[in-house]
Amino acid sequence: MTTVKAYGATQSTSPLEPLHITRRSLKPHDVQVEILYCGVCHSDIHTVRNEWSGNTKYPVVPGHEIIGVVKAVGAEVSKFSVGQTVGVGVMVDTCRSCKPCNSKLEQFCVEGITGTYNALERDGSGMITYGGYSSEIVTDENYVLDVKQTENLAGVAPLLCAGITTYSPLKYAKVGPGMKVAVVGLGGLGHMAVKFAVAFGAEVTVISTSASKVAEASKLGAHHFIHAPSQDALKPYDSSFDVVLDAISADHDYTAYLNLLGLDGRLLVVGLPEHNPKVAPFALIKNRRSITGSMIGSISETQEMLDFCHDNNIVAEVETIPMVYINEAYERMIKGDIKYRFVIDLSTL
Ligand code: NAP
Ligand code: ZN
Ligand code: ZN
- 302 CB less than 6 Å from ligand 1? no
What number does CATH give the domain 2-160+297-348? 3.90.180.10
What pTM was estimated for this model as a whole? 0.98
Spell out the domain ranges in the chain: 2-160+297-348, 163-293
Q: If you take atom 23 of ligand 1, which residue's CA is the nearest one?
A: 42
What number of other Cβ atoms are within 10 A of residue 77's Cβ?
A: 22
- 189 CB less than 6 Å from ligand 1? yes
Residue 34 makes CB contacts below 8 A (sequence gap 6+) with 68, 69, 70, 71, 135, 136
Q: What is the mean pLDDT of each run of 10 residues along the chain (349 residues)?
A: 97 97 97 98 97 94 98 98 98 98 98 98 95 98 98 98 98 98 97 98 97 93 96 96 97 96 98 94 98 98 98 98 98 94 98
Domain 163-293 has CATH 3.90.1150.10: no
96: nearest Cα among 83, 107, 87? 107
- 214 CB less than 6 Å from ligand 1? no
**Intrachain domains 2-160+297-348 and 163-293 with the same fold:** no
Q: From ligand 3's centre to the CA of 209, what distance in Å?
A: 38
DSSP for 88-101 reads: E-SEEE--SSSHHH
What number of other Cβ atoms are within 10 A of residue 32's Cβ?
A: 22
- 210 CB less than 6 Å from ligand 1? yes
Q: What is the pLDDT of residues 10-32, one digit of tens each?
A: 999 999 999 999 999 999 999 99
Q: How far apart are CA 332 and CA 250, in angstroms?
A: 14
Q: How far apart are CA 57 and CA 321, in angstroms?
A: 26
- 220 CB less than 6 Å from ligand 1? no
Q: What is the pLDDT of residues 147-161, one digit of tens each?
A: 999 999 999 999 999
Q: From ligand 3's centre to the CA of 173, what distance in Å?
A: 24
Cβ distance 148 to 87 under 8 Å? no
Sign of CA dihedral 64, 70, 72, 73: positive
